Structure 1
Amino acid sequence: AGLIGNTLLQQLRQQKEYLRQEQHINLNLVALANSKKMRFELDGLDIDQDKDALLATGETSEVTQFIARMKELNLPNSIFVDCTASNIAIGHYEDILNASISIATPNKIANSDSFAQYQKLKQAALIHGVKFLYETNVGAGLPVINTLKDLQNSGDKIHKIEGVLSGTLSYIFNTFDGTTPFSEVVKEAKAKGFTEPDPRDDLNGMDVARKILILAREVGWPLEPDQVQVENILPGPCLLANSVDDFFIALEQSNDVFQQKIQEAQQAGKKLCFIAQLDNGEAKVKLESVDQSHPFYTLRGSDNMIAFTTERYKNQPLVIRGPGAGADVTAAGVFAEVISVRRFLGQSSSKFNLKSPQKP
C-alpha cells in the first residue's frame, strides 16, 4: 500500500477501540486494494493485520472491477477512500457518488481538472446526499478548506488569499540564505526526501497552481487550470535537461541567478517566498520578496502558511500555519473526514464501511 494509505491503516488500528467505546463508531474496512491486489470481506477485514497480510490472499487488482463490486454490495454509510496520487480512480468518482457512496481523498487531480468536472462531482454528492471530501488537497492536515467554507457560510466575504502551499518550496527558500549555492540547497532538499524524484516537478510551481485553483473554486471563482498565472523560476537549460543529473548540472551553472535574487531581497530587508495569491478573481503563483510586516516572513522549515483577508479579517488576515505535507498529517486529515461523514449522517452510532484503493 502507499505511504498515506498505510499510515491511515495504522491510525485506524490505533483508534478503533476509542472510537467504538467513546464515540460509538464502528469502522468496518470491507475492501482494500493496491495496484497489484484487491480484497473484499463483507464482515470486515482484520485491521490488526498489516497491509501485506491483508492483501496476501487477494485477487488481481482492477479498479473497474473494484468499483463495480463496491456498488453491488450497496452497503449503507459507505465511504470510498482514494489515497493514490494518480488518476486511476478519478474517472470513476462521479459514478461512485451517483451510487450514494461518499468519497474522501487527498488526491488533487479531480478538483484541479476542468471546472465543469469539478461542478459535476459537487453536484453529484449534493443530489445523492453523500459527501465529497478533500480537505487534504490543500495543506495536508491543516484546516484550510473547512475554514474557508466556515467563513463563507457565516456570511464573511473573501477579499484575498495568499499562501505558501508547498512544503518543498517552503523548505528550499527558508533554507536558502546565500551562504550555500541554490543548487546545493535543492540537492539537500532532495536528499532529505522533501522533493519529487525530479525536483523540477516542485520547482515548476504546478502543484502550487493546482492548490490555489482549488481554493479559487471554493471561493466561487470558476477558473480553469490555464487561467492560473505561474512564474517560471528556472532558467531554460534547467527545464530542457534530459535527466535529473543534467538538471543539477544546469542548476549549478545558474546559481548566480538565484544568488542575485537573494542578495536583492536581503539588501531590502526581505526574504524570498514562493507564494500563491488569489485576488479579485485572479490566481497567481510566483517568487516574491516579503518584509518583516508580512506573515510569511516568520516561516521556518517546511511549514505551510495561508492568510485569508476577508471583510471581517480586513486589517489583519486570518492565518493558518503548520506542516503542509507528510504522511502522518495527511492520513490524519483523511481520517478526520471519514469521521465527519458520521456527523453528516446525523447518527449517534453507525457502522461505516470503508473501501480504499492505495498505491503500491
Structure 2
Amino acid sequence: MDLQAFVSAIREKNLRNSVFVDVTANEQVARVYDQLLSKSISVVACNKIAAASAYQHYAYLKELARVYNTQFLFETNVGAGLPIIGTLNDLIRSGDRVRRIDAVLSGTLNFVFNHYDTSRPFADVVQQAQDEGYTEPDPRLDLGGTDVMRKILILAREAGHTIEMEQIANERFLPDACMQGSVADFYACMHQHEAHFSALYKAAAAKNTKLKFVASFEDGNAKVGLQQIDPAHNLYHLYGKDNVVLFYTDRYPDQPLVVKGAGAGADVTASGVFADILRASV
C-alpha cells in the first residue's frame, strides 16, 4: 500500500472521530503524523520513533494536537499496557513535580536476565525471548539499550524536560563486536562471547544480587545500564517480562509511586493500544 495515498485518503474523507493507529516500528509511518494531526485526526502510536525523535519535532506534534483539538497518544511506548505515561501525565497536570525516575523498562532484558543462569548459552535465552515475541524485530535494539534509552527519554520529556537522545548515557553490556552485521551475526557473536555473559552472571550471583538493566533520570540527566540489584531494592523483585517504574516526586519524596507489571507481549500491548483508541474516540 502507498502510505502517502492512504494518508491523503484519510484527510480527504475527513470522517468524524477518525483515529490513525500505528503499530509498526517504521520511521516512514511516524513521519506522517503531522499531516493527520493538522486535520484533527487523532494518532495512537505504539511506534516509539516520533515521541523519541528530536525534541523540536516531539514538541511540534504535541502542539499540533493541542491546536487542532485532537489526540496524540502513545501510552504503549513505555511499558506496553501499563498505565505509566498516563500516571505521569496525571501527576504533572495536578501540579506535582517529578524529581527522579528509576525504572526497569525492558520486558525483554528482564526476561533474559531472569532466565539466564549459565546452564545454557546466553544467546539461546535471547532466542527464546525473540521466539516468544518479547523482542524488537532486531533484538540489538533491546540488548544494546537503544529501546530503553527511547523509553526514559519519553518519560523525561513527559515530565517536562527538554532532552535529546544523545544526552543519555548508555553503559552497554554487549561487546561492541556484537553490534555489527546482521541479526544472524549477532547471535553468532553472542555464542562466541559466552564467557563474558557468564562472568557477568557469576559476579552478581556471588554478591546475592540480580542483574537488571536500569534506566534512571534525575536533575536533568538520564542514563541506562546493567546494574547489580540487591534484595532490599525496589527493583529486585521483578519476574518474567515485568517492568517497573518508580516516580519520586514532591508528593512521593521517600516512598515512590510505583507502577509495575508485565511490560512486553502482544496481548498486553494490544490492550494498551485499544485503551488509547478509546481515549482518542471520546
Common topology (TM > 0.5): yes
User: Please, what is the CA RMSD of the aligned residues?
Assistant: 1.8
Q: Where does 1:29-68 land on structure 2 (aligned, <5 Å)? A: 61-68=1-8
Cα shift at 1:114? 0.4
Q: 1:186 aligns with which of 122, 126, 137?
A: 126
CA distance in 2, matches of 1:158, 1:326: 28
Task: Provide the TM-score with structure 2 as the length reference.
Answer: 0.93
Cα shift at 1:339? 1.6
How many residues align? The count is 282
Q: 2:213 aligns with which of 274, 278, 294?
A: 274
- Flag the 1:70–1:196 CA change in 2: closer, same or farther, 3 A: closer
Over residues 268-310 of structure 1, what are the superposed CA-to-partner deviations in whole Å (9 max), with x where a residue is unaligned?
2211000111111111110001111212211111111111111
CA distance in 2, matches of 1:77, 1:113: 26
Over residues 50-104 of structure 1, what are the superposed CA-to-partner deviations in whole Å (9 max), with x where a residue is unaligned?
xxxxxxxxxxx21111111211122222222222221232222112111111111
CA distance in 2, matches of 1:248, 1:206: 18
CA distance in 1, matches of 2:261, 2:62: 28
Establish whether residue 140 from structure 1 lines up as the match of residue 84 from structure 2: no
Q: Where does 1:243-262 land on structure 2 (aligned, <5 Å)? A: 243-262=182-201
Maintained 8 Å contact 2:19/2:281? no
Cα shift at 1:237? 2.9
Over residues 107-152 of structure 1, what are the superposed CA-to-partner deviations in whole Å (9 max), with x where a residue is unaligned?
1111111000001100011011111111111111100000001111
Higher relative contact order (CA 8 A, sep 6+): 1
Cα shift at 1:222? 0.8
Secondary structure in structure 2 of the residue aligned to 1:296 = coil
Structure 2 equivalent of residue 330 of structure 1: 269
- Percent identity over the alignment? 46
Structure 2 equivalent of residue 95 of structure 1: 35
Q: Where does 1:1-360 land on structure 2 (aligned, <5 Å)? A: 61-196=1-136, 198-240=138-180, 242-343=181-282
**Matching residue's letter, 1:289:** Q
For structure 1, the residue ranges without an aligned partner over 5 or more in a row are: 1-60, 344-360
Over residues 236-257 of structure 1, what are the superposed CA-to-partner deviations in whole Å (9 max), with x where a residue is unaligned?
33233x3444433332232222
Cα shift at 1:324? 1.2
Maintained 8 Å contact 2:133/2:265? no
Which of structures 1 and 2 has the bigger CA Rg?
A: 1
Cα shift at 1:336? 1.2
Maintained 8 Å contact 2:37/2:68? yes
Bigger mean CA deviation after superposition, 81-90 or 175-184: 175-184
CA distance in 1, matches of 2:186, 2:42: 42
For structure 2, the residue ranges without an aligned partner over 5 or more in a row are: none
CA distance in 2, matches of 1:125, 1:137: 18
